[in-house]
Amino acid sequence: QVQLVESGGGLVQSGGSLRLSCAASVSISSILAMGWYRQAPGKQRELVATIITGGKINYADSVKGRFTITRDNAKDTVYLQMNSLRPEDTAVYYCNVRQWPALVHWGQGTQVTVSS
């Protein structure tokens, strides 16, 4: 069974940085994409960033230039470097993995809180 282990969330001041990690217990050869979504209070879950096998990367417009997603295939891990954090980035961040042929897995979520 697939497990996604997330870490790196916490409380930071506006303008600070955090680095999220997600390690997947799934063969890297079967992964179609890995990414991060977030859900803020009163809002629906939204895409933050994804990296697709083959190299294509997608970012939400709200995080472009501030967040960077990377993937370490050897460690089956995806990272999200978050810089210049804003209070509106406050949310629960969820790791997401799409696995061949048509499976989707979600992490438990890690809280990111950015104070004013």
pLDDT at residue 107 greater than cutoff 80:
yes
Q: What is the pLDDT of residues 19-39, one digit of tens each?
A: 999 998 877 678 899 999 999
What's the pLDDT at 21? 97
pLDDT at residue 9 greater than cutoff 70:
yes
Mean pLDDT of 99-106: 92
Using an 8 Å Cβ cutoff, are 69 and 49 in contact?
A: yes
Buried-exposed string 45-80: b where 16+ CB fall within 10 A, e elsewhere: eeebbbbebeeeeebeeebeeebbbebeeeebbbbb
What's the pLDDT at 28? 66
Mean pLDDT of 38-43: 96
Average pLDDT score over the chain: 94
User: In this prediction, what percent of the chain has a pLDDT beyond 90?
Assistant: 83
